[in-house]
Structure 1
Amino acid sequence: MGDSTTLGDFLRSRRGRLRPEDLGITSYGLRRVPGLRREELAQLAGVSPTYYTRLEQGQSYQASPAVLESLADALRLSDDERAHLHRLARPASPARRRATRTAAVRPDTRRLLDAMGEIPALLIDFRSDVLGWNRLGHRLLAGHLAPDAPHHGADRPNLTRMLFLDAHHRELFPRWRQAAACAVAALRSAAGRHRDDRRLAELIGELTMKSQDFAALWAGHAVGGHAYGERLLRHPEVGELVLDLETLTLSDGSGHRVLLYNAV
């Protein structure tokens, strides 16, 4: 799917969630679809209806940062959604999609994971591939998998795939729908940052084909940042756990993140 189509889909989805009455717009006639009409949004953003229509239909990429900010304000976008809009409006590289190489995990990063002996910890990349975990991280989220599974290259575990396609992992989450929505929103944000990454596109395609739940959430175009905050897990060995999830991004430019699960 082209980038212009992706931008148009995102704009359309955000326009569709707005209610005219919430924005002080008097509604006339029968509305065939929910949300604002294109001309109503264009008026709120201070652009011509023709220009906005071309942008939403993928016929134009000529949107300045100022226009994008006006659209973001009119659409009531969150900070994550606003950043996503700007990324989608930048033309991607004309090169064919490629599999971005996963940056190597530094030995000191592995030592850091192991040093957190009393805190479950995992290392993931932007695709949510698991690059490493300590002993408790493995037992908490993937005790049914081999401890060395993150070392298996392209076959390493992926947290989003596990959440939708791995019954053992899914059963850990009593609030599964909340966890699933957060995971899909984060993956949507990653897709906006890495539009040329073939492996990420393949993951999204696989999940869309194999999981109706994923396909429905993906169609919603929700965008989110890194996960954090309280998490409720139901572990097969120790029962119900309430944990604080914190996400730390490494400063080495790899984009790798450490997930820490601390008992409340």
Structure 2
Amino acid sequence: MTHDDNQLGSFLRSRRERVDAASAGVVDNTRRRVKGLRREELALLAGLSPSYYTRLEQGRDRRPSREILEALARVLRLDDTERAYLWSLAMPSLAPADSDALAVSTVRPGVLHLLERWTDLPAFVVAPNRDVLAGTALAARVNPAWSPGHNLIEFTFLDPRAQETYPDWNEIALQAVAGLRATVATRRTELDGFVAGMRKRSETFRALWDSHDVYERMTGDKRITVDGLGILRLSFESFALTGPEGHVLYVYFPHPGSTDDEALRGLA
């Protein structure tokens, strides 16, 4: 069975290996040679038989009940995003509705009008697969990836400019993949082909994807290297645009009164 054929088992194994056995209440006086919990330890903590959990992780049983999923999520200490992803793998019919058929690449006129008026901020709209659909003029000047026609994932992993643009490239790459996996939970049909393509085109993407990290950063900070300015330190907020398209608006801004603020104003 290939990795792609058993995504549920691969995800469970990756989370199991990250749980500290001692903090989970496992008493073991022997020298441990495994990362995290053993299969039988996780099974017992979740109230399952070890043989059943083994079948689940190996992909020989793919129909766990609600109660089993909740027990596993509790022991594995999954957060809300990871829990939603687990449900999307095990019980897709009960996960949030997949709106793939309704995916639209056209940004609403009102949103475009707002972007035209925001002359002093880098802001852009992305599709679920991270295609940049529209943005302010300043966004494209700050980061070449933030202009229409680019894809944030492809730029990060396939464009030679990415590691110069992002001084913290390793962290950004990890966050990009984890966020994409969170989106896949609700738009699997739409994104499976894109993920498969990236796995073939980038070994680094494949390795990060196979680590099964899943979380979303809705706000945060990022360092960007801008030609002629050096490194800008910008914060960002993200806003899900209501509708079936799954579009997200990102707005970047500097700390008021900082040297980054002055530099961005000059660039604008």
Shorter chain as normaliser: what TM range? Answer: 0.7 to 0.9
- Residue from 181, 186, 195 that aligns with 2:188: 195
1:262 partnered with 2:253: yes
Instruction: State the 1:191 CA deviation.
Output: 2.1
Instruction: State the 1:205 CA deviation.
Output: 2.7
The one-letter code matched in structure 2 to 1:207 is M
Judge conservation of contact 1:8–1:57 (CA < 8 Å) in 2: yes
Instruction: State the 1:245 CA deviation.
Output: 0.9
Instruction: State the 1:184 CA deviation.
Output: 0.5
The one-letter code matched in structure 2 to 1:19 is D
Instruction: State the 1:12 CA deviation.
Output: 0.6
1:52 partnered with 2:58: no
- For these two proteins, the number of residue pairs brought into alignment is 249
- Could you list the per-position Cα deviations for residues 24-56 of structure 1 after superposition, in whole angstroms to 9, with x for gaps in the alignment? 212265655322111110111112222222221
Judge conservation of contact 1:121–1:259 (CA < 8 Å) in 2: yes
SS at match of 1:171: helix
Give the aligned partner of residue 130 of structure 2.
Answer: 128
Give the aligned partner of residue 153 of structure 2.
Answer: 160
Please give the residue correspondences for 1:201-212 in structure 2 after superposition, counting only pairs within 5 Å.
201-212=192-203
Judge conservation of contact 2:84–2:185 (CA < 8 Å) in 1: no
Q: State the percentage of identical aligned residues.
A: 39
Give the aligned partner of residue 178 of structure 2.
Answer: 185
Give the aligned partner of residue 167 of structure 2.
Answer: 174
The one-letter code matched in structure 2 to 1:138 is A
CA distance in structure 2 between the aligned counterparts of 1:9 and 1:125, rounded to whole angstroms: 27
1:86 partnered with 2:87: yes
Q: TM (normalized to structure 1)?
A: 0.85
Judge conservation of contact 1:186–1:225 (CA < 8 Å) in 2: yes
1:139 partnered with 2:141: yes
The one-letter code matched in structure 1 to 2:91 is R
CA distance in structure 1 between the aligned counterparts of 2:217 and 2:22, rounded to whole angstroms: 33
The one-letter code matched in structure 1 to 2:131 is D
Give the aligned partner of residue 153 of structure 1.
Answer: none
Judge conservation of contact 1:184–1:217 (CA < 8 Å) in 2: yes
CA distance in structure 2 between the aligned counterparts of 1:251 and 1:101, rounded to whole angstroms: 13
5+ residue gaps, structure 1: 94-98, 151-155
Instruction: State the 1:210 CA deviation.
Output: 2.9
Instruction: State the 1:92 CA deviation.
Output: 6.5
Judge conservation of contact 1:189–1:224 (CA < 8 Å) in 2: yes
1:111 partnered with 2:113: yes
SS at match of 2:23: helix
What is the aligned-residue RMSD (CA, Å)? 2.5
5+ residue gaps, structure 2: 95-99, 256-268
Give the aligned partner of residue 220 of structure 2.
Answer: 229
SS at match of 2:251: strand
CA distance in structure 1 between the aligned counterparts of 2:3 and 2:22, rounded to whole angstroms: 34
CA distance in structure 2 between the aligned counterparts of 1:108 and 1:2, rounded to whole angstroms: 43
Instruction: State the 1:193 CA deviation.
Output: 2.0
Evaluate the alpha carbon distance shift between residue 51 and residue 219 of structure 1 in structure 2; reply closer, same or farther with a 3 A threshold: same
CA distance in structure 2 between the aligned counterparts of 1:92 and 1:237, rounded to whole angstroms: 51
Of stretches 130-139 and 101-110 in structure 1, the one that deviates more from structure 2 is 101-110
Judge conservation of contact 1:120–1:262 (CA < 8 Å) in 2: yes
CA distance in structure 2 between the aligned counterparts of 1:4 and 1:11, rounded to whole angstroms: 14
The one-letter code matched in structure 2 to 1:219 is D
Judge conservation of contact 2:122–2:252 (CA < 8 Å) in 1: yes
SS at match of 1:229: strand
